[in-house]
Amino acid sequence: AQRVTQPEKLLSVFKGAPVELKCNYSYSGSPELFWYVQYSRQRLQLLLRHISRESIKGFTADLNKGETSFHLKKPIAQEEDSAMYYCALSGAGANSKLTFGKGITLSVRP
């Protein structure tokens, strides 16, 4: 069975502070890991995926297979980063359904 755990519901930081949103997963095989973001009154959208190994809006995430983690990090938070963040997992092949964590609300205060 595939499972995604986001242990915290809310993270509140001041602008300019570093951010780390935690994500742990369980999957028997090689998973594809994603972070999705939902800004206020907008639809769910892809932020980044581990296969791309890229930085989006200053965010990065490294897949750690030993710790089965995919934490999202940003060194300097901006107010516009305030949103709901979901970690998600799928299989690499045709098993493409996404399994999401419960999500975490990031609040960046001025």
Partner 1 sequence: GAGVSQTPSNKVTEKGKYVELRCDPISGHTALYWYRQSLGQGPEFLIYFQGTGAADDSGLPNDRFFAVRPEGSVSTLKIQRTERGDSAVYLCASSLKASGRVEQFFGPGTRLTVL
Instruction: State the Cα–Cα distance between residues 60 and 49, nearest whole angstrom.
Output: 9
43 binds partner 1 (CB under 8 A): yes
CB of 35 to partner 1, least distance (A): 12
If one asks whether residue 97 binds partner 1 (CB under 8 A), the answer comes out as: yes
Region binding partner 1 by CB under 8 A among candidate stretches 13-21, 62-70, 74-82, 84-92:
84-92
Tell which one of 49, 61, 74, 106 touches partner 1 (CB under 8 A): 49
Per-residue binding string, partner 1, 6-35, x by CB under 8 A, is x------------------------xx---
Q: Number of residues in contact with partner 1, rule: CB under 8 A?
A: 26
Rounded CA gap, 67 and 16, in Å?
A: 28
Regarding 92 and contact with partner 1 (CB under 8 A), the answer is yes
Q: Three-state SS string across the chain, please? A: CCEEECCCCEEEEECCCCEEECCEEECCCCEEEEEEEECCCCCCEEEEEHHHCCCECCEEECCECCCCECCEEECCCCHHHCEEEEEEEEECCCCCCCEECCCEEEEEEC
Rounded least distance, CB 78 to partner 1, Å: 23
Site residues for partner 1 per CB under 8 A: 4, 6, 31-32, 43-46, 49, 51, 86, 88, 90-103
